[in-house]
Amino acid sequence: MISIRRLSLVSNQSQREISDRPLGALRIAIATEDIKGLNAHFGSAKRFAIYDVTAHKSQFMEAIEFDNASDESGRHRTEGDGRIRSRVSALKGCQLLFCLAIGGPSAAKVISAKIHPIKAQQAVSMSQVLSSVQTMLQTAPPPWLRKMLADAGAAKKRADFEDED
């Protein structure tokens, strides 16, 4: 059995206000072992830290914790497709996923859930990840990120030349 725990911030605002993200904010997931940095592989991460990020602000939203992470021998406690499917399902609503590594079949499942996986070369702090996303948003975002921003309401979708009259 796969056990997932969600730990969210509590505030005086109503739950609806908490769950509404700012216009144009990207919801990102960061694979982590300790909530201090990007330091885990997608399939074996004990936790995912979820943030809403805009060009000038980032806000921690929740942590998702899994009981079925790898044991000390490196074997996954729950083998197979169900383990990956539960992770992808838990990340619904995120647009970006940062991790140290992700296998091809897992990446395909993440992409089909409309989440863009980004592999980091090495472990980095949460603030470095958030800062790099904000830098991308402030400068010239790549086309795939511009599309996500348009979907999030931050920018107008550019019409393709085929759509012109």
Domains within the chain, CATH numbers bracketed: 21-68+82-118 (3.30.420.130)
- For residue 29, the model assigns a pLDDT of 97
CA distances 52 to 39, 62, 110, Å, are 19, 10, 19
In the predicted model, what is the mean pLDDT of residues 68-84? 58
123-165 pLDDT tens trace = 999 999 999 999 999 988 888 888 888 877 665 444 444 444 4
Q: Which is more confidently placed, 119 or 78?
A: 119
4-57 pLDDT tens trace = 667 666 554 434 344 566 777 899 999 999 999 999 999 999 999 999 999 999
In the predicted model, what is the mean pLDDT of residues 101-119? 95
Report the predicted TM-score, pTM, of the whole model to 2 decimal places.
0.78
What sign does the dihedral 116-137-58-133 (CA atoms) show? positive
